[in-house]
């Protein structure tokens, strides 16, 4: 990214040499993303991240197809970037159905099909949930949507770095991605829009992004995002296996040492995401102890942090508010080491023992450290 901040800093939309250099980097980036996802360059639109991509996909379709209908289907456990747009749209004449999810954290294709009505214009279901990691049957949902002449959007923000996504194979009409979820820079992302999909303009102004999303392009961000995605794809198999091993090792330690610990959600999930419930222990207190020991985890998505409400995702999969307030999401990445997993497990076990109201339930003691 540095050359695009220091040397090639021209505005990509300008006409002089500096601009042309910046534009050719952006063209190259668009070509590279298109080839990684198996689509046309003209189907990739650069945005400021996942939130914008989700907002644009949903508002853009809603606006373009208003004459056809006003019904949108989504799920109860989407990211706030989807839920809040749907909530807004329902105040301006749209009707939104929020499909429930199973206790394991999966959306049923049947439920989607049953919810489709003649006035349905769009279905939006996330590829993988950001709090519990469960992966949804995206291709099957796309089939059901298309059989019924309905457009399908997926928020693939959590999945794009670790799953081998091919948009033709998935057959989605719109797909959202964000660079900082796959080791890229913050504040940049993209929206895939299948050719011919009716999608209203998002930002009005200049002619950037085919006139649909005006504004000077973030050339260093775009170059960085594409480089990060290429690296992810190159290392996908190897780092995926490593991350899964670390995550499994961590889960094993938790479950063996802490009988009060349970996994939230089913097993078909992202390799590096696990959500655990520590029954009876307040996650806020636990997170504070973990933070003091250099362990960064969360009680929900960063986008809902600061709210005292229990996670809407955990409630959607049937957890009680108490269980939701006793749960923590842990994420593992390619830079984590086995030593870090050992350290984190030890800190968490000690902290849970300290905080548990019912320490009899915990059959662990520090002297038995080697048991874990
Ligand atoms: C992080 C995230 C977003 C928001 O992306 P930003 O780039 O942070 O705006 C949207 N959806 C999901 C599933 C996410 O995990």
pLDDT attached to residue 95: 98
Nearest Cα to 174, choosing from 197, 207, 157, 158? 197
pLDDT value for 304: 55
Rounded mean pLDDT, 206-229: 96
**Catalytic pick among 39, 261, 277, 303:** 303
Residue 138's pLDDT is: 98
Residue 133 is given by DSSP the state -
Please report the pLDDT score of residue 28 as a whole number: 97
49 within ligand 1 shell (Cβ under 6 A): yes
The yes-or-no verdict on residue 214 having pLDDT over 70 is yes
Q: Is 79 in the pocket of ligand 1 (CB under 6 A)?
A: yes
State in Å: Cα 358 to ligand 1 middle.
37
pLDDT at 15: 85
Report which secondary-structure segment, H or E, holds 290. helix 283-292
Answer yes or no: is the C-beta of 178 below 6 A from any ligand 1 atom.
yes
CA distances from 240 to 9, 115, 164, 245, 297 (A): 35, 35, 11, 9, 20
Its sign, for the CA torsion 125, 314, 248, 295, is positive
The atom number, within ligand 1, closest to the CA of 51 reads 9
Structural domains in the chain, CATH included, are 2-232 (3.40.640.10), 236-361 (3.90.1150.10)
pLDDT at 56 exceeding the cut of 70: yes
How many whole angstroms from 176 Cα to the centroid of ligand 1? 9
CA angle 252, 258, 264 (to 5 degrees): 70
- Determine whether the shortest distance from the Cβ of 219 to ligand 1 is under 6 A: no
**Ligand 1 atom, smallest distance to 81 CA:** 10
Q: What is the mean pLDDT of the chain?
A: 93
**Across-strand partners of 261?**
278
* Residue 224: both structure tokens together: 């960085």
Q: Is the CB of 130 under 6 A from ligand 1?
A: yes
Ligand 1, from 182, 303, 313, 329: best to mutate by most atoms within 8 Å of Cβ?
303
Angle at 264 between CA 84 and CA 276, to 5 degrees: 105
Q: Is 261 a catalytic residue?
A: no
User: String of b and e for 324-344 (b: at least 16 CB within 10 Å)?
Assistant: bbbbbbbbbebebeeeebeeb
Q: Give residue 369's pLDDT.
A: 45
**pLDDT confidence band for 359 (50 / 70 / 90):** low
Q: Does 189 contact ligand 1 (Cβ within 6 A)?
A: yes
> Which residues have C-beta within 8 Å of that of residue 120, sequence separation ≥ 6?
69, 71, 72, 73, 148, 150
**How far, in Å, is the centroid of ligand 1 from the Cα of 126?**
11
pLDDT in tens, 256-311: 999 999 999 999 999 999 999 999 999 999 999 999 999 999 987 555 555 568 99
Does 58 contact ligand 1 (Cβ within 6 A)? no
Residue by residue, DSSP assigns 243-267 as HHHHHHHHHHHHHHH-TTEEE-S-S
State residue 367's pLDDT score. Answer: 42
**Residue whose entry in the numeric block shows the structure tokens 């649909």:** 212
Q: Report pLDDT for 372.
A: 43
CB 121 within 8 A of CB 111: no
**Residue with more model confidence, 152 or 8:** 152
CA gap 135, 71 in Å, rounded: 25
pLDDT at 339: 97
Q: How remote is the CA of residue 59 from the centroid of ligand 1, in Å?
A: 17
* Closest C-alpha to ligand 1, atom 10: 50
Q: Which helix (H) or strand (E) holds 98?
A: strand 95-99
Is the pLDDT at 364 greater than 60? The verdict is: no
pLDDT, residue 360, reads 53
């Amino acid at each position: 990214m540095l050359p695009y901040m220091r040397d090639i800093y021209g505005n990509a939309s300008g006409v002089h040499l500096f601009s042309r250099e910046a534009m050719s980097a952006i063209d190259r980036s668009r070509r590279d993303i298109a080839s990684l996802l198996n689509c046309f360059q003209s189907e990739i639109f650069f945005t400021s991240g996942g939130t914008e991509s989700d907002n644009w996909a949903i508002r853009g379709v809603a606006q373009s197809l208003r004459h056809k209908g006003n019904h949108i289907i989504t799920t109860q456990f989407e990211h706030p970037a989807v839920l809040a747009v749907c909530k807004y749209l329902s105040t301006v004449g749209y009707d939104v159905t929020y499909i429930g999810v199973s206790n394991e954290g999966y959306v049923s294709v049947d439920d989607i099909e049953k919810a489709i009505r003649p006035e349905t214009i769009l279905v939006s279901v996330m590829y993988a949930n950001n709090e519990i990691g469960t992966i949804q049957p995206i291709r099957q949902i796309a089939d059901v949507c298309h059989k019924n002449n309905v457009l399908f959007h997926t928020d693939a923000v959590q999945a794009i770095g670790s799953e081998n996504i091919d948009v033709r194979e998935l057959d989605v009409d719109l797909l959202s991605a964000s660079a900082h979820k796959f080791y890229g820079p913050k504040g940049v992302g993209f929206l895939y829009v299948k050719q011919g999909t009716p999608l209203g303009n998002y930002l009005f102004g200049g002619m950037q992004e085919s006139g649909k999303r005006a504004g000077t392009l973030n050339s260093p961000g775009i170059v960085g995002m594409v480089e990060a995605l290429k690296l992810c794809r190159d290392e996908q198999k190897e780092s995926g296996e490593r991350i899964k091993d670390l995550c499994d090792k961590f889960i094993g330690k938790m479950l063996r040492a802490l009988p009060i610990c349970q996994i939230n959600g089913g097993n078909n999930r992202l390799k590096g995401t696990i959500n655990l419930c520590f029954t009876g222990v307040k996650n806020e207190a636990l997170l504070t102890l973990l933070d003091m020991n250099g362990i960064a985890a969360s009680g929900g998505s960063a986008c809902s942090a600061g709210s005292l409400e229990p996670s809407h995702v955990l409630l959607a999969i049937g957890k009680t508010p108490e269980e939701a307030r006793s749960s923590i999401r842990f994420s593992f990445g390619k830079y984590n080491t086995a030593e870090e997993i050992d350290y984190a497990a030890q800190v968490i076990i000690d902290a849970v023992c300290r905080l548990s109201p019912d320490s009899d339930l915990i059959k662990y003691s520090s002297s038995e450290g080697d048991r874990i």
